[in-house]
């Protein structure tokens, strides 16, 4: 289906900032796997411009390479021209979702199974119960491959934990008060990690305020081309936090943090919300970014005795450019047992809901990541995003290496504090 000639979705000047130098090629996970120029950032920008100018029909063939993009934005970190690839990708995907009719299964998967379940903790919990039951009963092997792979990502148990609305600092030297967003998937599957996050912040001298009324950050919507729903999420969260006196708004999920920091861009054309969104985004800090700057000292723990490595979550390393801070924190606990991971900043294949919408490429990247982890000899892999944890755990289990522990950095640091 071809969009109307009057429709314009791409910022041509931003697209023309790409000088086609090719420095992005070595950073692009899909290009590393396929070697196809159409699967590279500059190739995709060519395709976006061709769709915008209607030199290319909007059909399954023309959007295939854009769908295959992980949205990891590693190309942005490598680009000497500062091309805002993430923004170009989001508006192109919005255009595709509005003007192209996907096959029935893909529509159901994207618009219902993902968008109407993942951002809602209660729905997610109920949707995962049958999946966990199927795993316990050994029914997965009777299902089609897509469902088997999807079930491999499901953890054996929920990790819910109620958090107080306000948690005071646990040391005498109070440093201030920060807000915290527990998140959607984090609340259901990583409740203990949220608890660890609050505990570590309290131990660093910060009161933690968790305002009611907050909701999904909007990342899943933004990455899949549903920008209007992402804007609705942004307005809800801005309203929940803006009246609070906070030193920062802390987030412990890299993908969520990246979107929260871009609310100013997301609502830039909304006169009522633009300034409020910019103020909100200016206060957002990743957990590691905030913690590394506060001078909290961590001690070695027993889990760090057998070798520790670190995987860069894409949306922390690339859009947020945060790579040094989490390593500093991990090294403080691991000491000389820290081992650097080859291709640490290459995507593991999770990428939000990518491992569901593009399972074949996701599995190739998963296997690549697992092989690099196993070569380090480390027994603990630390990272900063829930999707990465689920994806890497599943990959290690497939490789017969599920004795290698995958930990969120908040849990890793909390263990070094000793028993609560």
Q: How confident is the model at residue 383 (pLDDT cuts 50, 70, 90)?
A: very high
Among 3.40.50, 1.10.10, 3.40.120, 2.60.40, name the CATH number for the domain at 302-416: 3.40.50
Amino acid 2: pLDDT:
42
pLDDT at 294: 81
pLDDT at 258 over 90: yes
Question: What stretch(es) of the chain map to CATH 1.20.1050?
Answer: 166-292
pLDDT higher than threshold 90 for residue 297: no
For residue 244, pLDDT beyond 80? yes
pLDDT computed for residue 416 by the predictor: 86
Q: State how far the Cα of 266 lies from the Cα of 279, in Å rounded to an integer.
A: 13
Location of each CATH 1.10.1060.10 domain in the chain: 12-99
Residues 6+ apart with CB under 8 A from 304: 333, 334, 335, 337, 380, 416
pLDDT above 70: residue 315: yes
- What global pTM score does this model have? 0.94
What is the average pLDDT value for the chain, to the nearest integer? 93
pLDDT of residue 417: 85
Show the DSSP H helices in 68-112 as ranges.
74-78, 85-99, 104-107
Residue 254 above 70 pLDDT?
A: yes
| Span(s) in the chain for CATH 3.40.50 | 302-416
What is the reported pLDDT for 8? 87
pLDDT in tens, 163-177: 999 999 998 888 999
Yes or no: say if 45 and 81 are a contact pair by the CB < 8 Å rule: no
Concatenating the DSSP letter of every residue in 373-412 gives HHHHT-SEEEES-HHHHHHHHHHHHHTT-TTSEEEEHHHH
| Fold of the domain spanning 12-99 | Fumarate Reductase Iron-sulfur Protein; Chain B, domain 2 (1.10.1060)
CATH topology of domain 166-292: Glutathione S-transferase Yfyf (Class Pi); Chain A, domain 2 (1.20.1050)
pLDDT at 420 > cutoff 80:
no
């Amino acid at each position: 289906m071809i969009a109307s000639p009057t429709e314009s979705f791409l910022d041509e000047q931003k697209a023309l900032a790409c000088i086609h130098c090719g420095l992005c090629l070595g950073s692009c996970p899909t290009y590393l796997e396929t070697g196809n120029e159409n699967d590279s950032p500059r190739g995709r920008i060519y395709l976006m411009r061709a769709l915008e100018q209607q030199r290319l029909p909007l059909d399954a063939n023309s959007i295939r390479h854009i769908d295959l993009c992980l949205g990891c934005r590693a190309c942005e970190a490598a680009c000497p021209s500062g091309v805002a690839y993430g923004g170009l990708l989001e508006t192109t995907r919005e255009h595709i979702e509005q003007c192209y009719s996907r096959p029935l299964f893909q529509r159901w998967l994207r618009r219902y199974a993902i968008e109407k379940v993942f951002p809602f903790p209660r729905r997610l919990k109920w949707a995962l119960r049958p999946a966990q039951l199927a795993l316990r009963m050994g029914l997965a092997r009777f299902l089609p491959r897509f469902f088997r792979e999807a079930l491999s990502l499901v953890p054996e148990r929920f990790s819910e934990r109620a958090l107080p609305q306000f948690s005071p600092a646990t040391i005498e030297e109070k440093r201030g008060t920060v807000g915290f967003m527990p998140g959607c998937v984090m609340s259901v599957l990583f409740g203990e990690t949220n608890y660890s996050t609050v505990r570590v912040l309290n131990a660093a001298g910060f009161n933690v305020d968790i305002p009611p009324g907050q909701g999904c950050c909007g990342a899943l919507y933004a990455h899949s081309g549903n920008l209007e729903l992402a804007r609705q999420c942004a307005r809800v969260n801005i309203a929940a936090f803006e009246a609070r006196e906070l030193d920062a708004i802390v987030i412990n999920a890299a993908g969520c943090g990246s979107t929260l920091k871009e609310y100013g861009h997301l609502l830039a054309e909304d006169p009522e919300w633009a300034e409020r969104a910019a103020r909100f985004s200016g206060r957002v800090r990743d957990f590691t970014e905030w913690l590394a700057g506060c001078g909290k000292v961590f001690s070695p723990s027993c889990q760090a005795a057998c070798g520790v490595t670190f995987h860069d979550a894409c949306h922390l390393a690339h859009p947020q450019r945060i790579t040094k801070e989490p390593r500093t924190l991990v090294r403080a606990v691991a000491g000389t047992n820290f081992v650097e991971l080859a291709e640490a900043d290459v995507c593991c294949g999770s990428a939000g809901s990518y491992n569901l919408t593009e399972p074949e490429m996701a599995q190739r990247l998963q296997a690549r990541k697992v092989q690099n982890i196993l070569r380090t000899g480390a027994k603990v892999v630390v990272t900063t995003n829930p999707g990465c944890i689920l994806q890497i755990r599943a990959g290690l289990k497939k490789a017969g290496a599920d004795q290698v522990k995958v930990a969120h950095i908040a849990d890793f640091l909390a263990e070094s504090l000793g028993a609560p």
